[in-house]
C-alpha cells in the first residue's frame, strides 16, 4: 500500500472567508471601474493645473493595489505541485510589496511635486470652461469632479478593512489605505484650487505637501512590512504589530510531558504562516507518533493561518557531546 | 424667508464677483491705471502694423475688451520672446500675435481658444496672459465667449 505523504496540504478558506473573498474581489473590480471613470473625468478638466495633473497621476498609481489583489487572490490558490511544493501563497507577499511600493511612490511623488511647485513659484492659471452649455470658472468644475470623485473612495476604502482582517490579506489592507490616500489628496487638491481662486498661488502645493506626509507614513510602514516579510520575519498583524503565535505554540508544546523544551519560529507566506517547532524530548527513546500528531493538530487549531508548521526533534547530539 | 434667500443669493453673487482673484492683482491694477498694457507680435491678419498704428482682428478684439473694462489699451510691438519675458514679469497684461494652442511656452498662460479653424492645436487661436492672473483671465475669456465648435464654425 502506498502511503500518501502530503508535503504541502492545500488550505481552503472557510465558508465565511469565501464570502469575504468574493466581496473583496467585487470591491477590487469596483475600484478599477471607479478609477477608470475618475481618471477619464479628471483628464477632461485637468487644464494646466499642476495639482489636477498630480491627482490624475495618483489615480493611475491607484490602479496597482486592486490589480495586485485580484492577481494574488487567484494565483495563491493554485495547487502545490512537485516543483512548487509550498504552493503559491508567497505570490501574495510579492504582490503586497508591489502594492505597498505604489502607495509609498504616490506619497513621495506628491511631496516632490508640491515642493518643486513651491520652489519654482508656479502660478497656476485656471480660466473659464464650458460643459453642457454651462460656462463657469474651470476651478468650480475641478472642485466638483474632485469632491464627487472622492466619495466612492471613502466608501471603498472603509469596506475593504473588514475583509482584509478576515482574510489576513495585507494587499487588500494596502488597497484600502490607497483609497484613503485618494480621497485625502482629492480633498487637498480641491482646497488648493479654491485657494488659487483666492489668489494664493501656493495653496494647492502646500495642501498637497501636508497630505503627502500622511501617505508617505502609510506607504513606508506597509513597504517595510512587505520587505521584512520577505526576509521571513516573524508574522505581523494586518495592521502592524507582531503576533504572539510563536509563544502560544511554545507554551502548548511545553505542556506535554514528553517535551523538555520547545522553541518555535514562524514566517509569513501570503495569508498563511509556515514554520518549525523545534523540541528537545525528555526521553529520546520514547516518542509517540500519535501524541506528536495530536500536538500538530492542536497547533493548527490555534489559528487558521498556521498551515505549514512542522515538528523537529533537536538536542540529542548536543547532549552526547557534552561530558 | 424670501428676503433671507434673496440675501443669500446676493451674498453668493458678490462672492463670485471677485472670485477667482489674481495673484498679482493685474485686473485691479488695470482699473486703477485706467489702462491695459498690450504686447503685440506682428502676425497678419491677426496683428498688423501700418506705420506705428496697430490693426488686425486680434487688435480689434482687445480694443473691444478694453472698452468693456472702461480702460484705454496701450499697445507696444515686441518680439515674441520679449512679450513672453514681459508677461512673466507682469510688465504686460495681455499679448496678441496670432498665438495658437500649439505655442510651446510654459512660462505664460493662454486663454481658451476664441477662434477655431480646425481640429489641430495650431488651428485654435488664443491670447497670452501672465500666469496665475485668474481674475483677468476669466474676465477676458468671458468676453471672448466659449470656444466655437471647430468644423461648423469654420465652414
What is the mean pLDDT for each group of 10 consecutive residues in chain A (323 residues)?
Answer: 59 85 94 91 74 79 93 88 86 94 93 89 85 88 88 94 93 93 88 89 87 92 94 91 94 94 93 92 89 92 89 72 49
Cell of A98: 508591489
Residue A189 phi, psi dihedral angles, 5° rounding: -65, -40
ipTM, 2 dp = 0.79
Instruction: Return d(Cα B131, Cα B106) in angstroms, integer.
Output: 9
Tens of pLDDT, residue by residue over B4-15, are 554 454 445 445
HEC string of B67-85 equals HHHCCEEEEEECCHHHHHH
| pLDDT of amino acid A5 | 65
Q: Is A318 exposed, middle or buried (0-12, 13-18, 19+ CB in 10 A)?
A: exposed
Tell me: cis bond preceding A74? Omega within 30 of 0 counts.
no
Specify the 3-state DSSP secondary structure of A136. Answer: strand
CA A196 – CA A190 distance, rounded (Å): 10
- In chain B, residues with a C-beta closer than 8 Å to the C-beta of A129 are 112
Is the distance from CB of A224 to CB of A285 less than 8 angstroms? no
The CA–CA distances, whole Å, from B74 to A160, B33, B89, B92 equal: 61, 11, 17, 10
A137 neighbors A126 (Cβ within 8 angstroms): yes
Burial of A298 (0-12, 13-18, 19+ CB in 10 A): middle
Measured torsion, CA atoms of residues B142, B145, B147, B152, in degrees rounded to the nearest 10: 170
Give the model confidence (pLDDT) of A206-222 as tens digits: 988 988 999 999 999 99
In this complex, is the C-beta atom of B80 within 8 Å of any C-beta atom belonging to chain A? no
State the smallest CA–CA distance between residue B149 and chain A in angstroms.
Answer: 12
Per-residue pLDDT at B151: 45
* Contacts (Cβ under 8 Å, ≥6 apart) of A286: A258
CB contact B29 to A (< 8 Å): no
Cell numbers 494574488 correspond to: A72
Residue B1 pLDDT greater than 70, yes or no: no
Chains A, B: CB contacts within 8 A come to 63
Q: pLDDT above 90 covers what percent of chain B?
A: 66
Inspect the interface and report whether the beta carbons of B21 and A201 lie closer than 8 Å.
no
C-alpha cell at A127: 480660466
Q: Of A234-243, B12-21, B52-61, where does mean pLDDT reach its minimum?
A: B12-21
Rounded CA gap, A172 and A271, in Å?
11
Among A297, A300, A293, A291, residue whose Cα is nearest residue A245? A300
- Beta-sheet strands, E only, within chain A: 128-131, 134-137, 259-269, 272-281, 306-313
Q: Within a 10 A sphere around the Cβ of A238, how many other Cβ atoms?
A: 18
Q: Cis omega (within 30 of 0) on the bond before B20?
A: yes
pTM of the entire predicted model:
0.80
| Cα first-last separation, chain B | 52
Determine, for residues B131 and A123 on separate chains, whether the beta-carbon distance falls below 8 Å. yes
B112 at interface of A, judged by CB pairs closer than 8 A: yes
The residues, any chain, with a CB within 8 Å of residue A72's CB and separated by 6 or more, are A91, A92, A95, A96, A171, A270
Query: Band of the pLDDT at B51, cuts 50, 70, 90?
Result: confident
Closest residue on chain B to A203 (Cα):
B23
The sign of the torsion formed by the CA atoms of A177, A180, A184, A186 equals: positive
Q: What is the DSSP letter of B104?
A: -
**Cβ atoms of A44 and A96 closer than 8 Å:** no
Query: What phi and psi values does residue A279 have, to the nearest 5 degrees?
Result: -140, 150
Contact A92, A271 (CB under 8 A): yes
Residue B3 pLDDT > 80: no
Residue B13, C-alpha cell as written in the block? 453673487
Residue A53 CA to residue A34 CA, distance in Å, equals 18
Taking a C-beta distance cutoff of 8 angstroms, is the pair B62, B38 a contact?
yes
Closest CA to A192 of A120, A125, A145, A143: A143
Give B16's pLDDT tier (boundaries 50, 70, 90). Answer: low
Cell of A192: 488648493
Best probe of the B interface among A46, A127, A141, A204, by most B CBs < 10 A, is: A127
* Distance separating alpha carbons of residues A60 and A163, to the nearest angstrom: 24
Give the model confidence (pLDDT) of A134-162 as tens digits.
Answer: 889 988 988 988 898 889 999 999 999 99
B124: Cβ contacts below 8 Å, ≥ 6 apart: B100, B101, B102, B113, B115, B116, B118, B147, B150
Instruction: Decide if B20 and A197 are in contact by the 8 Å CB cutoff.
Output: yes
pLDDT at A323: 46
Interface test with B, best of A137, A140, A195, A201 (most B CBs within 10 A): A137
| Cβ separation B21–A199 shorter than 8 A | yes
Average pLDDT over residues B94-121: 91
B153 or A57, higher pLDDT: A57
- Assess whether pLDDT exceeds 80 at residue B2: no
Looking at the predicted structure, is the pLDDT value of residue B79 above 90?
yes
Distance to chain A for B75, nearest Cα, Å: 24
Amino acid at each position: 500500500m502506498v502511503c500518501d505523504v502530503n508535503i504541502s496540504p492545500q488550505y481552503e478558506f472557510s465558508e465565511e472567508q469565501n464570502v469575504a473573498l468574493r466581496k473583496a474581489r467585487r470591491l477590487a473590480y469596483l475600484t478599477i471601474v471607479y478609477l477608470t471613470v475618475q481618471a477619464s473625468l479628471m483628464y477632461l478638466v485637468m487644464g494646466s493645473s499642476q495639482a489636477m495633473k498630480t491627482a490624475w497621476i495618483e489615480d493611475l498609481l491607484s490602479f496597482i493595489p486592486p490589480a495586485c489583489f485580484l492577481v494574488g487572490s487567484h494565483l495563491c490558490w493554485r495547487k502545490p505541485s512537485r516543483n512548487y511544493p509550498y504552493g503559491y501563497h508567497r505570490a501574495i507577499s510579492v504582490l503586497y510589496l508591489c502594492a505597498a511600493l505604489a502607495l509609498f511612490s504616490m506619497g513621495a511623488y506628491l511631496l516632490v511635486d508640491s515642493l518643486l511647485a513651491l520652489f519654482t513659484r508656479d502660478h497656476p492659471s485656471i480660466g473659464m470652461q464650458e460643459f453642457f452649455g454651462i460656462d463657469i470658472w474651470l476651478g468650480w468644475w475641478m472642485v466638483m469632479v474632485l469632491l464627487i470623485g472622492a466619495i466612492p473612495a471613502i466608501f471603498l476604502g472603509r469596506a475593504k478593512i473588514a475583509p482584509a482582517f478576515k482574510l489576513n490579506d495585507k494587499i487588500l489592507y494596502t488597497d484600502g489605505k490607497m483609497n484613503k490616500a485618494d480621497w485625502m489628496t482629492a480633498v487637498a487638491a480641491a482646497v488648493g484650487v479654491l485657494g488659487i481662486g483666492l489668489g494664493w498661488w501656493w495653496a494647492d502645493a502646500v495642501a498637497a505637501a501636508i497630505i503627502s506626509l500622511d501617505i508617505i507614513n502609510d506607504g513606508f510602514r506597509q513597504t517595510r512590512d512587505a520587505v521584512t516579510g520577505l526576509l521571513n520575519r516573524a508574522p505581523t498583524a494586518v495592521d502592524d504589530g507582531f503576533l504572539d503565535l510563536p509563544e502560544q505554540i511554545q507554551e502548548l508544546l511545553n505542556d506535554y510531558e514528553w517535551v523538555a523544551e520547545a522553541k518555535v519560529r514562524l514566517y509569513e507566506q501570503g495569508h498563511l504562516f509556515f514554520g518549525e517547532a523545534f523540541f528537545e524530548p525528555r526521553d529520546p527513546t520514547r516518542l509517540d507518533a500519535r501524541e506528536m500528531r495530536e500536538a500538530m493538530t492542536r497547533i493548527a487549531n490555534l489559528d487558521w493561518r498556521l498551515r505549514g508548521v512542522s515538528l523537529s526533534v533537536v538536542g540529542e547530539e548536543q547532549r552526547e557531546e557534552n561530558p | 424667508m424670501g428676503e433671507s434667500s434673496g440675501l443669500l443669493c446676493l451674498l453668493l453673487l458678490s462672492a463670485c464677483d471677485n472670485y477667482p482673484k489674481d495673484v498679482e492683482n493685474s485686473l485691479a491694477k488695470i482699473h486703477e491705471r485706467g489702462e491695459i498694457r498690450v504686447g503685440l507680435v506682428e502676425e497678419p491678419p491677426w496683428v498688423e502694423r501700418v506705420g506705428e498704428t496697430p490693426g488686425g482682428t486680434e487688435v480689434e478684439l482687445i480694443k473691444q475688451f478694453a472698452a468693456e473694462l472702461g480702460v484705454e489699451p496701450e499697445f507696444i510691438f515686441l518680439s515674441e520672446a520679449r512679450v513672453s519675458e514681459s508677461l512673466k514679469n507682469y510688465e504686460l497684461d495681455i499679448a496678441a500675435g496670432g498665438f495658437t494652442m500649439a505655442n510651446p511656452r510654459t512660462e505664460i498662460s493662454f486663454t481658451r481658444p476664441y477662434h477655431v479653424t480646425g481640429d489641430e492645436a495650431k488651428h485654435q487661436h488664443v491670447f497670452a496672459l501672465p500666469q496665475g492672473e485668474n481674475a483677468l483671465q476669466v474676465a477676458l475669456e468671458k468676453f471672448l465667449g466659449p470656444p466655437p465648435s471647430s468644423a461648423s464654425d469654420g465652414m
